[in-house]
Amino acid sequence: MRFSSWAALQAASCVTWGADINLRHVEWIRNYLPEHIRVFQNTALPHLPIDDKSISLVMAFSVFTHIDELELAWLAELRRVLKPGGFAYLTIHSEHTWSSMRPGLSAFEYLMAVRERVADYAVSEELFQSSMPAEKVVFSWENAANYNSSVFHQSKYIRSTWSRFFTVKDILEAAHNYQDVVVLQRDG
């Protein structure tokens, strides 16, 4: 949704779609940005009400940092809506993010706040002082309104798994605040 305000300043001929799981964000866009921005509330389930091969660029900030079980289905859905040659610009928590986890970093503070509800890992400052224990590490918890997981991916995992859907053009370390940016391209 952050990108929508920038898109609102562009020519009205630029068709822009926006989606968020949080209805308040969708309503803010509808109330304060131009009507040429098409915005809707989506769900955790991988379906976008957008035509096949109709989008040139997909941007998802702090989305794949919260997608666990439906990750591959969401990648397939993004591939479906992207035009051949189109790009996806997605942020992730990576092994670089992992090594940056410390007090004061929002991702760290959030995990510390829910640490009593995380079942699979003992969330602590010491945990992040060691290497990531797997190529994909998921901290999950219950009883959250919108987000119930925080996901970390190693670059190796992105290159081997996500490349089944896209060409992985680059992984840019800390290119969006402390998150890495994965640049993907849809082949023909």
pLDDT class of 45 with cuts at 50, 70, 90: very high
Q: Which has the closest alpha carbon to 178: 60, 96, 64? A: 96
Does residue 63 register a pLDDT over 90? yes
The β-bridge relationship of strands 55-60 and 37-41 is unpaired
CB 39 within 8 A of CB 18: yes
CB 139 within 8 A of CB 150: yes
User: Cα dihedral angle (39, 153, 149, 87), rounded to 10 degrees?
Assistant: 10
pLDDT class of 12 with cuts at 50, 70, 90: low
- Alpha carbon distance 104, 110 (integer Å): 10
Does residue 55 register a pLDDT over 70? yes
Q: What pLDDT does residue 37 have?
A: 87
Mean pLDDT of 149-169: 97
Mean pLDDT of 62-78: 96
Q: Is 82 helix (H, G, I), strand (E, B) or coil?
A: strand
Residues of the chain with CATH 3.40.50: 49-188
Q: Where are the alpha helices (H) located in the chain, listed in sequence order? A: 2-8, 23-32, 71-81, 95-100, 106-114, 155-161
Mean pLDDT of 11-37: 87
Share of the chain above pLDDT 90, in %: 79
**CATH code of the domain occupying 49-188:** 3.40.50
Mean pLDDT of 50-78: 96
- 170's tokens: 């680059």
Mean pLDDT of the chain: 92
Does residue 14 register a pLDDT over 80? no
- Alpha carbon distance 63, 92 (integer Å): 8
- Alpha carbon distance 75, 163 (integer Å): 10
